[in-house]
């Protein structure tokens, strides 16, 4: 099954791989409404993409020798989730029919909880059918999928599931390739404890943004936020690794924490004089190194929103009855 959305390529070097990825991106941008089509592209004489897509594999170039299947190379599944920036459906919108071979994922482009599960889906190469929903004017059918009508919600063959941590765990289990938890039960439980600790960052973060300029509330929120960030910095220093999951790649805890760390730079835009931001980076050096490494992760990059756009959205959210969900809509 996984071969269905892999890329068969003959690879000469790392730079060839990079060229393949560039090529795949440009092709798929043009073919974004046609995921099922087979794509054949040639980059260099030593490096040719032979087939792409997960319904219809193109076998016609099988005569070429020394193919390797690059399974789960994260960047290659980027096109699978390029519905991410589609318009948010609101009340009265007809229920969009399910798509074969894809997992229906109800999303809101700026939701950090949905982002958690998108990161996991992306990291594991899960083909998604993303439907963005307007959370202030919810489509009626969303309540049938999740009584709270929140995102993320996914629709599986057995029914709907929701809650970002649980959906992420489900995806990790159902798509076993590239497990995101440590095998060791103690380490896995420890990571789950740290997932609970994420609220020590998210709580004050939102209190600052919803303080509506109340200087006392902002000061209190910033103090708590810095304490929360320091906890994570200390934990990383204790582990002595680049990511919480080790030195190689992010794991579940890394992905569950990231969405708020992507949003932290918004503070500097919203409250430029409230903190010595550079000094904070030096103080929380392990966390800053982690942040930079996370920014290079293909899953993070695929779903990434810039601080400027987060800021625009958060302003629209804090000050308007109707947030600008479609800020990035194409």
- Is residue 89 a contact residue for ligand GSH (CB under 6 A)? no
CA–CA gap between residue 80 and residue 247 (Å, rounded):
27
Q: Count interface residues toward ligand GSH (CB under 6 A).
A: 10
Q: Which residues contact 227 (CB under 8 A, 6 or more apart)?
A: 200
- Report the site for ligand GSH in 286-325 (rule: CB under 6 A): none
Q: Which residues contact 169 (CB under 8 A, 6 or more apart)?
A: 252
> Which is closer to ligand GSH, CB of 152 or CB of 251?
152
User: Do 305 and 110 touch, CB atoms closer than 8 A?
Assistant: yes
> Which is closer to ligand GSH, CB of 48 or CB of 312?
312
- Is residue 135 a contact residue for ligand GSH (CB under 6 A)? yes
User: Of the candidates 80, 111, 130, 264, which one interacts with ligand GSH according to CB under 6 A?
Assistant: 111
> Which is closer to ligand GSH, CB of 163 or CB of 235?
163
Nearest to 23 by CA among 39, 34, 1: 39
CA–CA gap between residue 56 and residue 214 (Å, rounded):
57
Residue 128 CA to its chain's centroid (Å): 12
CB of 96 to ligand GSH, least distance (A): 18
Single out the segment in contact with ligand GSH by CB under 6 A; choices: 59-67, 97-105, 106-114, 200-208.
106-114
Single out the segment in contact with ligand GSH by CB under 6 A; choices: 19-27, 144-152, 174-182, 272-280.
144-152
Q: For residue 111, indicate whether it is catalytic.
A: yes
For the record, the structure tokens of 330 come out as 């194409």
Residue 59 CA to its chain's centroid (Å): 32
Angle, helices 112-124 vs 252-263, to 10°: value is 140
- Is residue 151 a contact residue for ligand GSH (CB under 6 A)? yes
The catalytic residue among 8, 47, 68, 111 is: 111
> Which is closer to ligand GSH, CB of 123 or CB of 198?
198
Strands 103-107 and 128-132: parallel
> Which is closer to ligand GSH, CB of 72 or CB of 317?
317
CB of 87 to ligand GSH, least distance (A): 17
Single out the segment in contact with ligand GSH by CB under 6 A; choices: 83-91, 150-158, 205-213, 274-282.
150-158
Helix (H, G, I), strand (E, B) or coil at 3: helix
> Which is closer to ligand GSH, CB of 148 or CB of 179?
148
- Report the site for ligand GSH in 17-56 (rule: CB under 6 A): none
Q: Which residues contact 223 (CB under 8 A, 6 or more apart)?
A: 204
User: Of the candidates 9, 20, 48, 108, which one interacts with ligand GSH according to CB under 6 A?
Assistant: 108
- Give CA separation, 30 vs 38, 194, 294, in Å: 13, 41, 28
Nearest to 132 by CA among 156, 157, 152: 152
Map residues 158-177 to x or -, x wherever contact with ligand GSH holds by CB under 6 A: -----xx-------------
Q: What angle do CA 38, 82, 192 make, to 5 degrees?
A: 115
- Is residue 113 a contact residue for ligand GSH (CB under 6 A)? yes
Residues that bind ligand GSH (CB under 6 A): 108, 111, 113, 135, 149-152, 163-164
Report the catalytic residues. Answer: 111
């Amino acid at each position: 099954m996984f071969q269905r959305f892999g890329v068969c390529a003959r690879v000469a070097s790392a730079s060839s791989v990079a060229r393949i990825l560039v090529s795949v991106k440009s092709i798929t941008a043009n073919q974004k409404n046609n995921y099922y089509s087979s794509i054949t592209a040639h980059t260099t004489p030593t490096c040719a993409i032979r087939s792409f897509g997960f319904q219809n594999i193109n076998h016609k170039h099988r005569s070429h020798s020394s193919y390797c299947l690059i399974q789960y190379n994260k960047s290659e599944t980027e096109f699978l989730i390029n519905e991410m920036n589609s318009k948010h459906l609101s009340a009265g919108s007809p229920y969009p029919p399910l798509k074969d071979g894809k997992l229906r994922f109800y999303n809101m482009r700026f939701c950090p909880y949905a982002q958690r599960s998108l990161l996991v889906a992306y990291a594991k190469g899960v083909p998604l059918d993303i439907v963005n929903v307007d959370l202030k004017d919810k489509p009626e059918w969303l309540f049938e999928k999740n009584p709270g009508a929140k995102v993320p919600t996914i629709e599986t063959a057995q029914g709907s599931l929701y809650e970002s941590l649980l959906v992420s765990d489900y995806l990790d289990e159902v798509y076993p390739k590239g497990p995101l938890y440590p095998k060791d039960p103690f380490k896995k439980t420890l990571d789950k404890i740290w997932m609970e600790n994420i609220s020590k960052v998210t709580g004050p973060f939102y209190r600052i943004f919803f303080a509506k300029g109340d200087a006392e509330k902002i000061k209190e929120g910033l103090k708590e936020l810095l304490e929360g960030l320091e906890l994570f910095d200390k934990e990383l220093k204790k582990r002595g690794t680049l990511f919480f999951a080790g030195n190689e790649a992010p794991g579940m805890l890394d992905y569950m924490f990231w969405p708020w760390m992507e949003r932290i730079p918004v503070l500097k835009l919203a409250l430029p004089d409230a903190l010595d931001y550079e000094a904070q980076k030096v103080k929380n050096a392990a966390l800053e190194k982690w942040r930079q490494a996370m920014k290079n992760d293909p899953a993070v990059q695929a779903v990434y929103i810039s601080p400027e756009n987060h800021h625009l959205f958060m302003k629209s959210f804090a000050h308007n009855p109707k947030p600008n969900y479609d800020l990035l809509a194409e």
